[in-house]
Structure 1
Amino acid sequence: YRGKNITSMKANEIARLGLVRSFQISAVFGHMSVLENVRVALQQKMGNSFHFWKSERSLRELDDQVMQLLAEVDLQSFAQTLAVELPYGRKRALELATTLALDPFVLLLDEPTQGMGSEDVDMVVELVRKAAANRTVLMVEHNLSVVSRLCDRITVLARGSVLAEGDYDSVSANPQVREAYLGSEAATLEEAHA
C-alpha cells in the first residue's frame, strides 16, 4: 500500500496510513451521541483518543470539524441524538462519518447497503458517491443496482478467482458471469431471448 508492505501491520496502524475500512455490520457507540461518535474518531486522528480523562469542554474544540463531517452525511440535525436511537440507514451514515473523520486515501466498504430499505439505499449510494469524490473506494457489494450506479470498475469473483473485470455493461453481459450467478439454464434462456 503506497509503497509499503502492510501485511503484518495491525488494523489501527493501517488506518493511520490512510487505508480505512467499514464493515457490513454497523459499528457505532450506541450509548454516545452522534456528535460524540464522530468526535472520538477525530480524537484518534489527532492522537489523543485515550485522553478520556479530559473535560468535555476541552474536547469541544473538535465540534466544528464534527459538524462539517455530519453535514457531509446529512446528520447535522441528529448531532445530539444517541446513536442507538438512529434508524439503520442513519447508523450507516454515522459510521461513514466516523470513517471519513480519519481522512482516508482509500476507503474499504463491505456491503454498505446490506439490509436496507430502498429509501436508505438511495441515501447511502449518494453518501458513498460524495465520499469517493476525493479518494479511492473499494467496495464489496451484491446489490447490482448499487454497483451499476456507483462503480467505475467491477471485478467479479467466483470460487476465489477473478472471473471478469471491466465496466458494468461489459461485466453484466459476460456469459461466464451470467452462468456463475444465474446458472447455466438461466444464462441460456436469457441468450435465447436476446
Structure 2
Amino acid sequence: MSAAMNQSPVASPKADIILSARGLTKRFSGFTAVDSVDLDIKRGTIHALIGPNGAGKTTCFNLLTKFLQPSAGKITLNDRDITRLSAADISRRGLVRSFQISAVFPQLSVLENVRIALQRRRGDSFDFWRPEKVLSAYDEEASARVEEVGLSSHLHEPAGELSYGRKRALEIATTLALEPEMLLLDEPMAGMAQEDVGRISALIRKISANRTILMVEHNLSVVADLSDQITVLARGQVLAEGTYEDVSQDERVVEAYIGAGHE
C-alpha cells in the first residue's frame, strides 16, 4: 500500500465556513449601500457585524438573510449557492433570522407561541381550532425551548404581559423551535434596560454552544463580551476584521466608529 493511501484525509478549510459572501453589492437608485463585501462566518462562532450609522450593516444583514436580493455578488451556505433563494428557502436549510416570527401573539401563552413555531417547522397549518389533544403533542418540545431561554416560570402567562426583555427571549425561543444551524440576530439589545441586556447576553452565549451566530449590534460592551470575530463596515465596505482587541486598536476603526461613538 502506498504512503499516499496511508495518509489521513485533510479537512477542507471550507468545512469550517458555514456562511460566505463574495463581492456582495447592493445599489439603490445609483447609491451603493453595500460595496463588494467579502465575508466568511466560521462554524460554531459568534460573529458581530458593526459600524457607524450609514455603514451598510443593516443592508448587508438583509442581503445575507435574503430579505433583499443583491445587485451583484454570491452568497453560499455550507458551500451551496443561496444567492437567489428566498428567506423561506434558506430558513428550511437551517439559516434563520431571529424575530422572523417577531410579533408575538399577545393573547396566547408563552407555550402556545412556541407551539405555533413548531407547527410551522413541521409543515402543519396554524389551526387554532384544532383539538387540544392534537396540539398538545407539541407541548413537550415547546416546553423544552421555553426552558432553554429561561422562561419556564412564565410558561402559561400571556405573551403580552411579559417584559420587553422576556418578549425578546420568547422570540428567540420561537426561532430555536425552527432548529436553526445558524442564527442571525438583528440588534438583539435594542431598546433594552441594562438588566435585560445582561439577561439576553447570557442567553445568546448559552444558545451558541451548538450553533453559529451572526449579529448586528451597536452595544460595544456586548460585542466585546460575546464575539469571537468582528467585521467592521464603513461606507458599505469592510474596514477591518478580527477579534475585539484587534479591531478596537485599529486606527481606522477608532476614527470611523469607536472614536465617533465617544465624542
User: Same fold by TM (over 0.5)?
Assistant: yes
1:37 partnered with 2:113: yes
Q: 1-side partners of 2:126 and 2:159: how far apart?
A: 21
Contact 1:33 1:82 in 2 (8 A): yes
Which residue number corresponds to residue 130 of structure 2? 54
Query: Aligned pair in 2 of structure 1 residues 11, 47: CA closer, same or farther (>3 Å)?
Result: same
Which residue number corresponds to residue 149 of structure 1? 225
Residue deviations 1:77-123 (CA, integer Å, cap 9, x gap) = 11111111111000000000001111101100001011101100000
Query: Aligned pair in 2 of structure 1 residues 67, 15: CA closer, same or farther (>3 Å)?
Result: same
> What is the 5 A alignment of 1:72-87?
72-87=148-163
Contact 1:18 1:103 in 2 (8 A): yes
Q: Identity of aligned pairs, percent?
A: 57
Matched letter for residue 94 of structure 2: G
More strand by share: 2
Displacement over 6 Å in runs of 4+? none
1:15 partnered with 2:91: yes
Which residue number corresponds to residue 91 of structure 1? 167
Question: CA shift at 1:12, angstroms?
Answer: 1.8
Which residue number corresponds to residue 109 of structure 1? 185
1:65 partnered with 2:141: yes
Question: CA shift at 1:156, angstroms?
Answer: 0.5
Matched letter for residue 96 of structure 2: V
Matched residue SS, 2:195: helix
Contact 2:95 2:180 in 1 (8 A): yes
Query: Aligned pair in 2 of structure 1 residues 151, 24: CA closer, same or farther (>3 Å)?
Result: farther
Contact 2:99 2:171 in 1 (8 A): no
Q: 1-side partners of 2:200 and 2:100: how far apart?
A: 13
Contact 2:110 2:170 in 1 (8 A): yes
Matched letter for residue 249 of structure 2: A
Matched residue SS, 2:81: coil
Unpaired runs of 5+ residues, structure 2, are 1-76
> What is the 5 A alignment of 1:169-188?
169-181=245-257, 182-183=259-260
Contact 2:95 2:184 in 1 (8 A): yes
Matched residue SS, 1:178: helix
Residue deviations 1:118-144 (CA, integer Å, cap 9, x gap) = 100000001101111101100001101
Matched letter for residue 157 of structure 1: L
Which residue number corresponds to residue 22 of structure 2? none
Q: With structure 2 as the length reference, what TM-score do the two structures score?
A: 0.67
- Out of 235, 244, 250, the residue aligned to residue 168 of structure 1 is 244
Q: 2-side partners of 1:87 and 1:71: how far apart?
A: 17
Unpaired runs of 5+ residues, structure 1, are 187-194
1:131 partnered with 2:171: no
More helix by share: 1
Residue deviations 1:130-188 (CA, integer Å, cap 9, x gap) = 111101100001101100110000001011111110001111111000100224x96xx
Q: 2-side partners of 1:68 and 1:104: how far apart?
A: 15
